[in-house]
Amino acid sequence: MFQIITVLSLFLTRLFQSAQIMISRNTQHQIESSAEEYAWILYFLIAFLSSLIGDIFILVASVGYNALKLNRYVVVIIQHIAVCDLLRSIVFVLPTTVSLITKGWIFGETLGYVIFFLNIVSFQVSNICFYMPLF
């Protein structure tokens, strides 16, 4: 029992250290020119809007109208991937875009930790959904 607690505490310590590094890096994106900054902002805005529109369209079509005429398990996997992608765009792309526009991290340290942990969770869930058909 003591070993599990020790491993868990080491794991959480590493995660907090990684979160602190991420928060400090988000305050300065190290972009050298304004053209590059505008290109990144445009890229993230297009990625966020296309993800938002596409994922909501998939979820409404599959849940509301039952438009996907596939095997039920395939539809559930598609829905899970759409939810994970939506979570990923809200947790990662939107705060990154806002911090690029404002030229700094405006969400505070606590929300930085929350976004960091949600980012890890959403990435892992996306990977699970992606590799699930291989098993």
DSSP codes joined into one string, 69-106: -S-HHHHHHHHHHHHHHHHHIIIIIHHHHHHHHHTS--
The lowest-confidence range among 14-18, 41-45, 82-86 is: 14-18
Classify burial at 89, counting beta carbons within 10 Å of its beta carbon; exposed 0-12, middle 13-18, buried 19 or more.
buried
| Tokens found for residue 94 | 């939107």
Cα angle: 24, vertex 46, 118; to 5 degrees:
45
CA pair distance 123, 135, nearest whole angstrom: 19
Question: Which of 89, 87, 79, 80 shows the shortest CA–CA distance to 121?
Answer: 87
pLDDT tens-digit map of 19-34: 555 555 544 556 777 8
Tokens of 34: 């304004």
Judge whether 95 and 107 are in contact, CB under 8 Å: yes
pLDDT for residue 7 is more than 70: no
- Tens of pLDDT, residues 74-117: 888 888 888 888 888 888 888 888 888 888 878 887 887 777 77
